[in-house]
Chain A
Amino acid sequence: MTVLILTSDEDVTADMVVLRLHETGAPVVRLDPADLTSGVALSGEYIQGVYRGHVSVGGRLVSVNGLRSIWVRRPGVAAARAAQPTTWLTEESSQALYGMLRGTDARWMNHPDAARRARHKPWQLRLAQRSGLPVPATLITTFPQAAREFAERFPDLVVKPVSGAHPQEPPRAVPTSRVAPDTDFAAVAFGPTLLQRRVAKRADIRLTAVGDRLLAARKAVAPDADPNDVDVRFAPSTSTWAPVDVPPRVGAAVLTYLKEAELAYGAFDFAEDGDGIWWFLECNQSGQFGFVEMDTEQPIAHSIAEWLAHGAEPGRTYVNGARRATS
């Protein structure tokens, strides 16, 4: 049974998992849907109640019925590198490839339907609440007056994109930013705005969930850090990520979240406050993990490879790297 990895050639983070899969001897086929139809080929037939399909890349040919698992990592847009790419060809290629793969019994990390839903931050916030994770007070609105009233109630606010996307024309980044107390909220009317109570954090937490295995890392905020540097992706820092145990209640809530979201992988971001409470910020269903593994030496790539090649043992969970029975 083969592991299929959908990602770009330059995805060196995926390499970390491919290496582990090679060590286990699991057959691997890696391809980028962008290379349909120049380098990647497919064929599927549905005849007399039987479905057969094949995908080939780089001299490798794999039966879709022989796929154990599919890892959707960083795939390019289907047929983007075709000789004559068009929007129509992309749609045709995407439907052909993903439609064929959806017809298999392979396990997905993550299934495209679950992945698409899981990208919605407002949905994440609600699921986190329902799962028992602390969520900072948040407002998503196009009403300026609602924003003003929220700011009166929670004077120390941050703003961030609802989607997590960043404008490209011209290319700009929108980090999570503090909102000054005297801010004019009139422009809230011109786009949905996500305002959130700022967590006075003493550390950032990245919890990487692979199946039932939870691996958390902590990056302490320096005592002299600028409180305006809210977004860890942009903040200057000399500290590194270090492994940290997952509090049992957080672990249980994260597993509930994953189950409800139907995710096999998730990278959770938390802000740890002065009382040690982990406040849920978001869950990236395809979040990066290489930088955490390199700092902490946590076996994230190994865990992903294990899940893809073998799957988790039913009835077991893995918290903080230790296996425990759940029933």
Chain B
Amino acid sequence: MQPFTLNYARPAVQLEVISPYAYDSGLQLNVFPDGRIAATDHATLRALGTTTSTAGSKTHFDD
């Protein structure tokens, strides 16, 4: 029998987002191909939702 709480479950939204930036181990920051630092581009971060409180994370449940 299914636990009561799971009656309220819904399929997790699996967003396959390809980040337009990559980690630079020298800077210890994520940067765009043109060298700009990702953390300063709030418009892109908002669009990707990468800094947002989420649900359904596989690795971190307390966000």
- Chain B contributes a number of interface residues (CB within 8 A of A) equal to 43
Q: Contact at A171–B58, with CB atoms within 8 Å? A: yes
Those of A267-298 within 8 Å (CB) of chain B: 267, 284-291, 294
Smallest CB gap from B19: residue in A: A10
- Chain A contributes a number of interface residues (CB within 8 A of B) equal to 59
Those of B1-48 within 8 Å (CB) of chain A: 1-14, 19, 21, 23, 25-26, 28-30, 37-40, 42, 45-46
Partner of B4, one of A30, A166, A193: A193
Q: Does A12 contact B (CB under 8 A)?
A: yes
Knowing A28-B28, A159-B4, A173-B12 are in contact, say whether A166-B55 is a contact too (CB < 8 A).
yes
Q: Kindly provide the distance from the CB of A92 to the nearest chain B CB, expressed in whole angstroms.
A: 20
Partner of B63, one of A147, A287, A294: A287
Partner of A173, one of B26, B28, B56, B60: B56
Smallest CB gap from A118: residue in B: B62
Partner of B51, one of A19, A119, A286, A288: A288
Residues of B within 8 A of A284 (CB): 53, 62-63
Q: Kindly provide the distance from the CB of A26 to the nearest chain B CB, expressed in whole angstroms.
A: 12
Q: Contact at A58–B26, with CB atoms within 8 Å? A: yes
Q: Contact at B52–A166, with CB atoms within 8 Å? A: no
Q: Does A172 contact B (CB under 8 A)?
A: yes
Q: Kindly provide the distance from the CB of B63 to the nearest chain A CB, expressed in whole angstroms.
A: 5
Residues of A within 8 A of B6 (CB): 167, 172, 174, 191
Smallest CB gap from B43: residue in A: A294
Residues of A within 8 A of B42 (CB): 294
Partner of A74, one of B11, B55, B60: B60
Smallest CB gap from B40: residue in A: A19
Q: Contact at A173–B13, with CB atoms within 8 Å? A: yes
Residues of A within 8 A of B29 (CB): 15, 18-19
Smallest CB gap from A193: residue in B: B4
Q: Does A13 contact B (CB under 8 A)?
A: yes
Residues of A within 8 A of B19 (CB): 10
Q: Does A129 contact B (CB under 8 A)?
A: no
Q: Kindly provide the distance from the CB of A132 to the nearest chain B CB, expressed in whole angstroms.
A: 23
Q: Kindly provide the distance from the CB of B21 to the nearest chain A CB, expressed in whole angstroms.
A: 7
Per the bound structure, the CA–CA distance linking A28 and B26 in Å amounts to: 11
Partner of A291, one of B5, B25, B26, B51: B51
Knowing A173-B10, A231-B55, A288-B52 are in contact, say whether A193-B5 is a contact too (CB < 8 A).
yes
Q: Contact at A19–B9, with CB atoms within 8 Å? A: no
Residues of B within 8 A of A28 (CB): 28
Please encode chain A, from 80 to 114, with 1 for each CB lying within 8 Å of some chain B CB and 0 for all others. 00000000000000000000000000000000000
Per the bound structure, the CA–CA distance linking A175 and B46 in Å amounts to: 22
Q: Which residues of B contact A (CB under 8 A)?
A: 1-14, 19, 21, 23, 25-26, 28-30, 37-40, 42, 45-46, 50-63
Nearest 3 A-B pairs (CB), nearest first? Answer: A290-B51, A191-B3, A9-B23
25 contacts between A and B (CB under 8 A): A9-B23, A12-B30, A12-B50, A12-B51, A30-B28, A159-B4, A164-B62, A166-B56, A168-B58, A174-B6, A175-B8, A175-B55, A177-B8, A185-B4, A188-B3, A191-B5, A191-B6, A192-B3, A193-B3, A193-B5, A234-B55, A286-B62, A290-B45, A291-B53, A294-B42
